[in-house]
Amino acid sequence: MIFFIIMVVSVLLLAGLSTYANQNKIYRGECEQNLQHIVDYFSVLMQADGKEFIAYQDLMIELGGEINIPVDFDGDYHPAKVAFYDAFHSQYPNKTLVTEVDYMQMSRALKILYVTYKHEYWLHIFEEAQDCFDVSYTYYVVPTGEHLHMYYMIDAVREPRASDGDKYIDLMIDVEQDMESHAHMWKAWETGEYTPGYDITDNEYGINYAYFYPLIINGRKMGVIGSDISIEKFNGKILQNTVKQMISMGIFITIVCGLFTWIIGSKYVRRLIKLKSRMATFSETRDPEIANSIRKNIKGTDEIAELAHQTADMISELGAYMEDLLAKNKALTEAQQKIKAANELAVKDALTGIRNKTGYDNEVIKTEKRMKDEGFYKFGIAMVDLNYLKFINDTYGHEKGNHAIIKICNIVCNTFSHSPVFRVGGDEFVVFLENEDYDNAEERIAAFKKILADLAEDDTLSPWEKVSAAIGWDKYDMRIDDSVETVFKRADARMYENKLAMKAARK
């Protein structure tokens, strides 16, 4: 029993350490990939803004101390945008910005209106993305010109400042970022290239892993995009997964070892003890009945006859042992079949019945192998994100939320019936556009949007039945794509643009 306990504890400890290391590696990779997605996303948006963003940054450095945005700003930047353009057209009638009027030539009042509008816009983008990507902190920093100092130009964590009794967002905060704690930040700025890895920051918001990406627009090095994730959250999830696996493994090992010990004890040890006892009794008592039961067809009472009987008995035991081994082999085969069935369930989403994130990862591996083997492979990616899931869950309950998830899943599967569909998150679905869906992608996307529009107009439906979703898609282009991930990023960015456009339309 002591040996059994020591063995179980030892196996669990080794398995726990191995699981923790594996979970750490997997989750760290997932976190780094998620943080790379968000900084890539910001970089794409900022580069697309082009000259407007350059002007915004230059004017922000010049006028940041004069910009007053309430600390309780609700994220709606449209009033500030309207105010700027009304003032611009009033001051420069029949003239266009950039082509006829340069940003830097505007009056100081117009510059302040412009910077106010642009900062509210980018603050809204950073805060929305921070919630959407489930990270702790997003920000954009610009060197101040002083050694190891950065301006926090866009900061998704609002710092208040008081002015004339009102509270405004403190902008362009000058912070010293020492090289030791912010090596990756400064390397991203100095090289102008993304460098894998992270910095560990320790501040009033806790200890975080920080990832950085340099922003370059029209060949000009602008600043550094940063995104953090809490180490406490990071380690907590790893520990939680490790504990769950250790508990499951401990139960399995305990049952298997206990069953094995019981089988060995009842099937073999007791019989060997009984045989030894009979042989000892026969040696001591020379009871003919015992002798006859042991010798049976072996004649004589000498040592050779006794050894022959023991040999025959051992052969008989070996036969029984082999039968048991065959039974165990059968049981092992059945167990392997059950494990195989369990592995199949592991890639299946329990709620919708379609394949899950693991299934998606497997599909990515298969697709990239075909891309490599065939040189060109026709496929595309469509990213679908269900809207209002949190509202439905909070208002009508998670059962109605599940109803909404299943309904949008059915719509996606029916619309893209010739392509595999995966649920990769609580409200996120990915479609690998193939076959007819690939050839008629635009018609399929339009049909999908039409279905959702019809549901929105159907007053006979309950709120959780009027499902709404944003969608973005793109096709693989062998000239620019070297992996599925690049196609996914474009589809994801377009989905998010669609989500923002839907949100803007509602407002």
Rg (CA), the chain: 34
Model confidence at 101: pLDDT above 50: yes
Q: Kindly state the average pLDDT of the residues 38-61.
A: 92
pLDDT in tens, 338-350: 666 555 568 899 9
Model confidence at 365: pLDDT above 90: yes
If residue 215 lies in a helix (H) or strand (E), which one and from where to where?
strand 206-217
Cβ contact 69:168 at 8 Å: yes
Q: What DSSP state is assigned to residue 159?
A: P
| % residues pLDDT > 70 (the chain) | 77
The rounded mean pLDDT for the chain is: 84
Model confidence at 315: pLDDT above 50: no
CB burial of 452-467 (b: ≥16 within 10 Å; e: otherwise) equals beebeeeeeeeebebb
What are the extents of the domains in the chain?
A: 2-235, 357-506
Which pLDDT score, from 0 to 100, does residue 304 have?
67
Whole-angstrom CA distances from 77 to 118, 187, 476 are 8, 33, 35
Which pLDDT score, from 0 to 100, does residue 197 have?
80
Q: Which CATH architecture has domain 2-235?
A: 2-Layer Sandwich (3.30)
Which pLDDT score, from 0 to 100, does residue 154 have?
95
Enter the tokens of residue 245: 């696996």
Expressed in percent and rounded to 5, the helix, strand and coil fractions of the chain are 60, 15, 20
Q: Any idea what the Cα angle at residue 143 is, between residues 203 and 49, rounded to 5°?
A: 105
The label of the residue with tokens 């599940």 reads: 402
pLDDT band per the 50, 70, 90 thresholds, residue 318: very low
- Of residues 390 and 99, the one with the higher pLDDT is 390
Q: Which CATH architecture has domain 357-506?
A: 2-Layer Sandwich (3.30)
Q: Kindly state the average pLDDT of the residues 40-51.
A: 91
